Amino acid sequence: MGLTRINILAGLFGAYIIRHPRSETHLGLPTGDELDRPLIVFDRSFRTDGSIYMNCTGDNPSLHPHWRPEYFGNAIIVNGKAWPRVTVRRRKHRFRILNASNARYFRFFFTNGLQFTHVGSDSAYLNKPVVNNEILLAPSEIADVVVDFSESKTNSAILANDAPYPYPDGNPVNEADSKVIKFFILKHREIDRWRVPKMLMQYPRPDLSSASRTRYITMYEYTSTTDEPTHLYLNGKTFEAPVEETPKVGSTEVWNVINLTGDNHPLHIHMGLFVALDQIELVNVEEFRKCMLRMNDAIKCQISKYARGKRVEVPAHEKGWKNVFKIKPEFVTKILVRFSYIHSNESFPFDATAEPGYVYHCHILDHEDNEMTRPLKFIE
């Protein structure tokens, strides 16, 4: 607790791909080192000697000399290189794009109009592919996409970014952080036998009737007298407060996640895969927020009275099973969580009830460390 953001900032992370030899090969998606690549994207700032720079002056120096609510760098890094250039063949390529930033969201798009065909998200395939012009990725979120460079009318393509920071109502990107990676596309169009099938992987459909419990999870932000953020809590509790979320191993639950802050927060639940079902805007937010800060009880504060705003449909490429989901500010997001394998309905082949247990948290690392994290313990 408190050091995750610094460990990741120092580069203590990586990626590896686990492939199922039987269930994936029949899909016919691009494979091989040249055609199936991870793109690990993040932001950093550097001193003139090349070392990583982190501002050590806090937003509230009278309360904490060093604390800042988010880290944003002024250089965009892909696979360890700043603003890299890559040569690709004029055919389909598969990219596993991971946002490994501490706090920055990316909204990726190609400046020459190329599209993304989504085949998976986080650790699961979609039921069927979805084509989009852009991808919004929160920290730790993964998009598994196919890009067909044979459709490019130019010999180069820039993958760009236009997501404000903090997201969604922060600073606009500048010229430096709007550019991510430049692809040089070989002129010769190749015979391409790789394909994107019409149907991908068929997992069990989310079943509300199987849910054994409904929970309300509320995201709070607290500020100083100068209106600068000081800390964030889930359900108004510190990380050290007694555990309250104790699901049964193999169970399914409904979580209504209430975001009372102005930021979008990527929710991550250890040991749980989940499907986002609904996103409803809160009305009379200040009135509801005051009640929640006083009582910290969504039922007693009559959440049904406030969750009556516009309903925003979950994007098609995010309707599958997720490890991370973006929780909109001043919305209630309903998710169905399964604490078992989605592929086989089997429970975990180890003792998930063993100490010290697990956690669920916001995956903006600065928020997670201060301290938008709560314990999660399983029972039989």
How many structural domains is the chain composed of? Answer: 2
Say if 179 falls within a structural domain: yes
Mean pLDDT, rounded, of the chain: 94
Query: Per the domain annotation, does 255 fall within a domain?
Result: yes
Please return the burial class of 369, using the count of CB atoms within 10 Å of its CB with bins 0-12, 13-18 and 19+: buried
Residues 24 and 141 in one domain: yes
* Whether residue 212 sits in one domain with residue 185: no
371 and 242 assigned to the same domain:
yes
Distance separating alpha carbons of residues 247 and 377, to the nearest angstrom: 7
The residue out of 136, 157, 189 marking a domain boundary is: 189
Residue 201 inside a domain? The answer is no
**CATH number for position 342:** 2.60.40.420
Residues 154 and 220 in one domain: no
127 and 260 in a single domain? The answer is no
Indicate if 220 and 341 belong to the same structural domain. Answer: yes
Domain boundary among 189, 218, 235: 189
**Digit-coded pLDDT (tens) for 33-55:** 899 999 999 999 999 999 999 99
Return the pLDDT at 326.
Answer: 98
**Is residue 345 predicted with pLDDT exceeding 70?**
no
First to last CA, the chain: 28
For 112, the domain range is 4-189
As a whole-number percent, the residues of the chain with pLDDT over 70 amount to 99
- 127-173 pLDDT, tens per residue? 999 999 999 999 999 999 999 999 999 999 999 999 999 999 999 99
Q: Are residues 257 and 368 in the same domain?
A: yes
Residues 155 and 220 in one domain: no
Q: Which of 123, 158, 189 is the last residue of a domain?
A: 189
In a domain, 195, yes or no: no
What is the model's pLDDT at position 364?
A: 98
Residues 119 and 125 sit within 8 Å (Cβ to Cβ): yes
66 in any annotated domain:
yes
Q: What three-state secondary structure class fits 194?
A: coil
Q: Are residues 308 and 341 in the same domain?
A: yes
Question: What does the DSSP assignment read for 143-186?
Answer: EEEEEEGGG-SSSEEEEEE---BSTTTSBPP-HHHHEEEEEEEE
Does pLDDT of 177 surpass 70?
yes
25 lies in the same domain as 158: yes
Total-model pTM: 0.96
